[in-house]
Structure 1
Amino acid sequence: MGILANAFTWWNGASWGTSIVTRLRGEEVGRDEAGNVYFRHRKHPSRRWVIYQGSNDSSNVPPGWNAWLRGTINDVPEKALPKRRSFELAPQPNLTGSGAAWRPSGSMKGQGHRPTATGDYTAWTPDA
């Protein structure tokens, strides 16, 4: 179902239409560590797009390539940006909805217990 799914869906990867337009009018500019491939239009270089490796999730695009896609920088990130420093962490995709998402201590899926209410709090009741 992989090849046939791309005929009708866009969230599993590039659709057939995107693949055709990319081959006819696109020029590959570079690839990132995650395997995403970046293109620009041959006649209109300000038009830029990415073909994702895996699911189409924009949080999988590293910050440097995101700046290139938005036109913040004109050259590819390897040439336009300084090298990542040793203390900088690698970018992470959006973890919302996954097991690695941050949960506060009082949440239902978080660790620990919610602190008890102190004496300065009085619950609202509709009769009061």
Structure 2
Amino acid sequence: MITFLKQFFSWWSGQTLGLRFYTWRKGEFVGQDEFGNRYYRAPSALPRSIAERRWVVYNGYAEASAIPPGWHGWMHHRDANPPSGDSYRPREWEKPHQPNLTGTAQAYRPPGSIVGSARPKPPKADYEAWQPE
């Protein structure tokens, strides 16, 4: 029951009922990445002018930065073929995914930030005001 309500009222966790119905009706399963995200495609009604539709059903919270580079290229029509588990190898300069922590308690807070735990340092005086004698 909770899963149904979650799908009905929220778009940020998994898929909505509309996306579930569209995926069931038109979607062709393409693959799954190491994070459990599932990728689908649907043929275009006008294949000569509009590219096929591609989408992802996130495993948990919908965060676009959780799509690996190989799947990102396929999603944005840079690659015609989706990456398979055997053929795709990340480049040497690609780093593993780190979740976006903005808005969470683990987010980076620079020194002196008003939401950080440390108190801001008082500013240093860079000049002395002139006093009449």
TM-score class, shorter: 0.7 to 0.9
For 2:131, the equivalent position in structure 1 comes to none
Correspondence 1:68-107 to 2 at 5 A: 68-78=74-84, 83-85=89-91, 88-107=94-113
> Secondary structure of the equivalent of 1:107?
coil
Q: CA deviation at 1:97?
A: 1.3
The answer to whether the Cα contact below 8 Å between 1:37 and 1:52 also exists between their aligned partners in 2 is: yes
Q: Secondary structure at the match of 1:49?
A: strand
Contact residue 36 and residue 50 of structure 1 kept, 8 A: yes
Question: Offset at 1:67?
Answer: 2.1
Identity %: 38
Structure 2: give runs of 5+ residues left out of the alignment.
Answer: 129-133
Q: Scaled by the length of structure 1, what TM-score is found?
A: 0.73
Q: For residues 78 and 121 of structure 1, do their structure 2 counterparts lie closer, same or farther at Cα, with a shift above 3 Å needed? A: farther
Counterpart position of 2:31: 30
TM-score (norm 2): 0.70
Structure 1 Cα separation of the partners of residues 95 and 60 of structure 2: 23
* Separation (CA, whole Å) in 2 of partners of 1:70 and 1:117: 48
- Which of structures 1 and 2 has the bigger CA Rg? 2
1:116 positional shift? 4.5
Q: Does 1:6 align with 2:7?
A: yes
